[in-house]
Amino acid sequence: MADSETREARPHQVPIDGTLDLHMFAPSDIRSVVREYLKESQAAGFVEIRLIHGRGIGVQRGIVQAVLDRNPSVRSFHDAPESHLGATVVILHPSGTE
CA distances from 26 to 7, 18, 30, 44, 76 (A): 12, 20, 7, 25, 25
Instruction: Answer yes or no: are the C-beta atoms of 86 and 98 closer than 8 Å.
Output: no
**What confidence tens digit (pLDDT) does each residue in 23-78 have?**
999 999 999 999 999 999 999 999 999 999 999 888 999 999 999 999 999 999 99
- CATH 3.30.1370.110 correct for 25-92: yes
| pTM, entire model | 0.84
Rounded to whole angstroms, how far apart are CA atoms 26 and 17? 21
